[in-house]
Chains A and B, each alone.
Chain A
Amino acid sequence: MRNLLSIGFCLILSVCMSSCVKDIDFNQMDDITLNPNMDLALVKYRINSQQVMEAIMNKNGKLIDTVNLEALEEKDFRDKLEEARFEINVFNSLSCNVNYALRFVDAKNREVLGFTHKVAGANQNLVESDQNIWNISNYDSLQVFKRARKVVVEFVPQGYDTIGGEFYFGSNASLSLGL
């Protein structure tokens, strides 16, 4: 019986002592890349026909505004940014054509990246819409973009509005981060 006991204890102890992990490679931990993609709205505006008139009459024919992007001032954020994608959606029910722009500028207001497009005026109350998408994925473009600190939006009507519509501008950013 003592032999049996010894065998029992040896068995249970050896099971505990020889417990192991098989077919596991912890070095893979270095290969883990977390790439969360964050979709978020950037800037938006809405212009009615009265504002179009004011732009033409008093503001040299265009409306312009600037938004500071403080997130891009954070080095940590810039370092983690691996890809950026921008999407602009416009809906035009004004009768005039509209040129619109989204420009990223650096701290000294020098343009680093800009998108300019045109949408036709509405015809017989049919809303004209336009969607534009830009991907910034290659290294050089991304480095240029990372110099941006502000975004400038421009609205340039091509003539007077006569049917009392409005122009809607919305922009979204999809940012891929490497954490």
Chain B
Amino acid sequence: MMKHLLCWLILLITASISAQNLTSLYDIEQLPQTLLSNPGASIKFNKHIGVPFLSGFRLSGVSSGLTLYDIFSDDGEDINDKLRDAIANLSEDKDYFLLKSSLDIFNAGIKINKTDYLSFGMYQDNDLFFNIPRDVLYLGQAGNVGVYNEPKSINPFKIAGDLTTVFHIGLNRAVNKRLNVGVRFKVYSSILNIKSVYNSGSFYTTRDSYNNVQNIYQDINVLIRTAGFEGFEDTWQAIKRGGDSIISIDPDTGEIEEVPQPMSVSEASLLFLDRAFFSGNYGLGIDAGFSYLLNDNLRANFSFEDLGAVYLKSDITNYRYFGDYIHDGIQVDFEDGVNNSDEYWDSFILNLEDSFNDEETYESYVSWRPTQINFSLKYSFSEVVSPCDYRVSTQRYYKYAAGIQFHGINRPSNFLYRISGFFESRLTKNTLAKVTYSLNNYSYDNLGLLLSTNFKKFNFYIATDNILSYADLARANNFSVQLGAQFVFHDN
């Protein structure tokens, strides 16, 4: 069981895919998705309607310290040696994995007057951040023999996860020809939440002056807060067993029994949607940003996303483990000879329970969203005026652009960042390509690509990060893909 747990953990760490906002989608005037990362972006459309469930689908994953190849490479080496080396090569507290995905359920927008663009929608956001506690993994893999006289901290153990439905409405205003500002309000409905961030304590093994082994657990304080799990389990069981039963005859006993069947897809969807809308755990958040044209060619963008929190008060269970404990053997006193064997063990367990406590509580808590900030500077050049005919209104656009972007996100262990350089090219009037090169906390060879094209009013886009890794995902620390389809209506 433990082996499979560890295997799945490794697979999850190394093969996870999730959705981070892709660098390549920031500040794209033709794409409505740019409003989700900067509500104050400069935009060049006056209406958009996303194809339900298809307007935005983002998957990306990060594993900063391990790759699949590190563990499962087919090189003839013993996998247990590779596992041991991989754990040893993790940093003590900096390595993490991130699983984040997002699915637009609907997304639309319309220009409500000359200056204002109103956009709104709903999406499902899944986010799981897990700081890999190297020393705890080591304890599971090798035991406490290797931790003699080296206190190992459990502080790096951090987990923050959320399965949330997000409803949003935003307003983008063109203040003047140079400045666009925007704001987006969000209502979060959290379906599942887990949070364990401020943990402390250490453990180690040592020997006393009599060479007696001492297992020491110092100042342990672990708090794991959860919300929605019981309700989610109920929903899951209802989906699995809530359909019409079928009558079955037991071949051995001949007894007639009712066998519960799963719900139909439509019934299950309704039940899940009910949970998505009325989870009982709600929060508020805000995105805001601006775009400023410094001169005819140079534009600066700044925005922040998800400054907000969810107040979790329904279906809460918090688990707390705390205390100090030193185990240095069971002391016998020869008082009752052979007759008191149970008392020693009972006393040992009682002492353990007195020293090392656990409790379940049900108080509400606040979970802050992972706030993101973005900044970009874009230089556009090679202006095109089309059509070249004085009788019709003209469209002016720059064929090329280049610049830099910064993306940062606040995570429980640290602030994760990405700095990118990009080159953008309008391949045709309706088609845009963008190439990005990014540096971040764990990778220095991250090439991204975006292609967006319009077929009349229908727009399709696809963007990927770390495209070099696609040839062999096993060696990749991260990859992301985002695609979508929508109808976009332009002024002309």
Contact = CB atoms under 8 A, between A and B. Distances in A.
B329 A43 contact: yes
B473 interface: yes
Interface stretch (B134-142, B385-393, B409-417): B134-142
Interface string B317-359: 0000000000111111111111111101100000000000000
Contacts of B479: 19
Contact of A18 (B83, B469, B470): B470
A163 interface: no
Most chain B CB within 10 A, of A40, A152, A155, is at A40
A89 B449 contact: no
Interface stretch (B91-99, B191-199, B204-212, B226-234): B204-212
A32 B68 CA distance: 15
B341 A34 contact: no
Interface stretch (B70-78, B102-110, B306-314, B400-408): B70-78
A26 B319 CA distance: 35
A70 B143 CA distance: 21
Contacts of B215: 39-41
A123 interface: no
Given A179-B1, A179-B3, A39 B79 contact: no
A44 B332 contact: yes
Contacts of B472: 20-23
A67 B345 contact: yes
A177 B140 CA distance: 10
Nearest to B212: A170
Size range of the chain B interface in the assembly: 35 or more
Size range of the chain A interface in the assembly: 35 or more
B145 to A, nearest CB: 4
B268 interface: no
B453 interface: yes
A113 interface: no
B73 A24 contact: yes
B464 interface: yes
Interface SS majority for chain B: mixed
A41 B332 CA distance: 13
A8 to B, nearest CB: 6
A18 B334 CA distance: 72
B430 to A, nearest CB: 9
A158 interface: no
B345 A32 contact: no
A1 interface: yes
Given A37-B145, A38-B144, A65-B332, A19 B213 contact: no
Interface string B173-186: 00000000000000
A33 interface: yes
B462 A12 contact: yes
A66 B338 contact: yes
A147 to B, nearest CB: 16
A23 B474 contact: yes
B2 A32 contact: no
Contacts of B337: 64-66
B6 A32 contact: yes
Most chain A CB within 10 A, of B68, B213, B327, is at B213
A29 B329 contact: no
Contacts of B377: none
Contact of A170 (B69, B72, B211): B211
Given A43-B330, A64-B334, A89-B211, A24 B74 contact: yes
A44 B2 CA distance: 32
A137 interface: no
Nearest to A171: B329
B143 A4 contact: no
Contact of B338 (A152, A155, A170, A179): A152
Contact of A32 (B7, B449, B469, B474): B7
B142 A66 contact: no
Most chain A CB within 10 A, of B3, B330, B332, B340, is at B332
Contacts of B83: 32
A1 B74 CA distance: 44
B427 A8 contact: yes
A119 B266 CA distance: 79
Contact of A44 (B1, B212, B473): B212
Contacts of A172: 211-213, 329
Interface string B406-448: 0000000000000000000001100101000000000000000
Contact of B328 (A9, A12, A15, A41): A41
A69 interface: yes
Interface string A29-58: 101111111111111110100010000000
Given A42-B329, A45-B333, 8 more contacts: A5-B431, A22-B474, A24-B69, A40-B215, A44-B210, A63-B334, A67-B341, A89-B211
5 tightest A-B CB contacts, nearest first: A41-B329, A36-B143, A179-B2, A19-B470, A37-B143
25 contacts: A5-B431, A8-B451, A12-B464, A15-B470, A16-B481, A21-B474, A37-B142, A39-B145, A39-B215, A41-B330, A43-B330, A44-B328, A45-B334, A63-B334, A65-B336, A65-B340, A68-B344, A68-B345, A89-B212, A152-B338, A168-B210, A172-B213, A174-B145, A176-B143, A179-B3
Interface of B: 1-3, 6-7, 68-69, 72-75, 78-80, 83, 139-145, 205, 210-215, 327-342, 344-345, 427-428, 431, 433, 449, 451, 453, 462, 464, 467, 469-474, 479, 481
